[in-house]
Amino acid sequence: MTRQPEEYQQPSRLARHGFQALGWVCLGLGSLGIILPVLPTTPFLLVAVWAFSKASPELAARIRAHPRYGPYILAWENYGVIPNFAKVLAVLMMSGSFAWLYLGTDAPLPVKAVIGVTLAAVAVYIVTRPGHIRS
């Protein structure tokens, strides 16, 4: 399934190579995220799909068709859905990261405050996304 809007224009050769390089880097980082628990997978795959859709729609379609990650990517692209288990995991990881920053480092209080507010805003955004596709 290759999705291209009506106004799709092929990018310049240089831009196509840049998008393709970004796609491969993000695909590699997303693949590492499968193995390393501290590295996220899905955000990198979303960026890879976006970049490949600009440079190589066939590669973007292959990622969308992946049996494990494809449905999550399509749910996000088409409906803005973040599964509930992913929301809980994301908020827990952000909370743990902030707790470690606040309690376990000597970072200045303004830095802790800015990071805390940013993580809280991201958590609110994540939690307010739909958790499943509405029929």
Q: How far apart are the first and last CA of the chain?
A: 22
Can you give the length of the chain in residues?
135
Q: Which helix (H) or strand (E) holds 110?
A: helix 109-128
Domain ranges of the chain: 13-79, 84-128
Exposure on the CB side of residue 40, measured as CA atoms within 13 A = 13
Give the Cα separation of 37 and 28 in Å (integer).
Answer: 15
Burial class (CB in 10 A: 0-12, 13-18, 19+), 64: buried
pLDDT in tens, the chain (135 residues): 445 554 556 778 888 899 999 999 999 998 898 888 777 787 888 899 999 998 888 888 998 999 988 888 898 888 989 889 888 988 998 999 999 999 999 999 999 999 999 999 999 999 999 998 887
Contact between 11 and 19 under an 8 Å Cβ cutoff? The reply is yes
